[in-house]
Amino acid sequence: MIGQQAVAADVPEVPCDPDEGAWVREWASPWQIRLRALGVITENSGYVDAVPGSGLSYSNTVTPELDISYFFTDNVAAELILGTTYANITGQGSISGLRNIGKVWLLPPTLTLQYHFTDFGAFKPYVGAGVNYTVFYNQDAGGADALKVKNTFGTALQVGFDYMVDQHWGVNFDVKKLFLKADFDVTVAGAKLTGKAELDPWLIGAGVTYRF
């Protein structure tokens, strides 16, 4: 009898929420990854200094995104968002004659601190805020002679949710707003000019979640 009691004591009880189903229990690991299809929708704003009435617009894209999350508690997590895409830059207003000014690729790693709500069963909404550093690379001038968009810091806001279909797998929907305004140098017809590209993109993503 004493031996049976000792064996029983060695088996930990696993907490279970009957509202969420028998599969729900404490997470075995604080790590989580997501893979999303991401729509990048930019705001068409910006200008060339010393050129009155100048404006800029940018192409929208769809790209894959990987993010890695670490949960400090059930409610608080940090998420690193990784992905890359490109933007075609087009002149507007008084510089519309330039048409395609150039094309740049962006690598905008973003780190957010999130709060996850845990009172809704398998439905797990969250909000977040963080910082972004965007690297511009593979820059090609189009209608301009030369183009250099400068790397810059920005901020980010985030809202989304996971719907967990079992202990490990779920589906995810996520919306982020990046506040991204980059300075640039451009040369047109031999004249060297400066300006600001105000992309401020919305990042709208959907994909799958895996919790280790």
Tell me the residue type at 65: E
3-state secondary structure of 186: strand
Phi then psi dihedrals of residue 9, to 5 deg? -70, -25
The DSSP bridge pattern shows strands 146-149 and 169-179 to be unpaired
3-state secondary structure of 84: coil
pLDDT per residue over 120-153, tens digit each?
999 999 999 999 999 999 999 988 999 999 999 9
- The DSSP output letter for 97 is G
Q: How far is CA 162 from CA 118, 123, 176, 211, in A?
A: 11, 6, 15, 11
Diameter of the chain by CA atoms? 93
Name the residue among 181, 123, 188, 129 with its Cα closest to residue 153. 181
pLDDT in tens, 82-95: 999 999 999 999 99
pLDDT in tens, the chain (212 residues): 444 444 444 444 444 444 444 444 456 799 999 999 999 999 999 999 989 999 999 999 999 999 999 999 999 999 999 999 999 999 999 999 888 999 999 999 999 999 999 999 999 999 999 999 999 999 999 889 999 999 999 999 999 999 999 999 999 999 999 999 999 999 998 999 999 999 999 999 999 999 99
Sign of the C-alpha dihedral computed for residues 27, 31, 37 and 43 taken in this order: positive
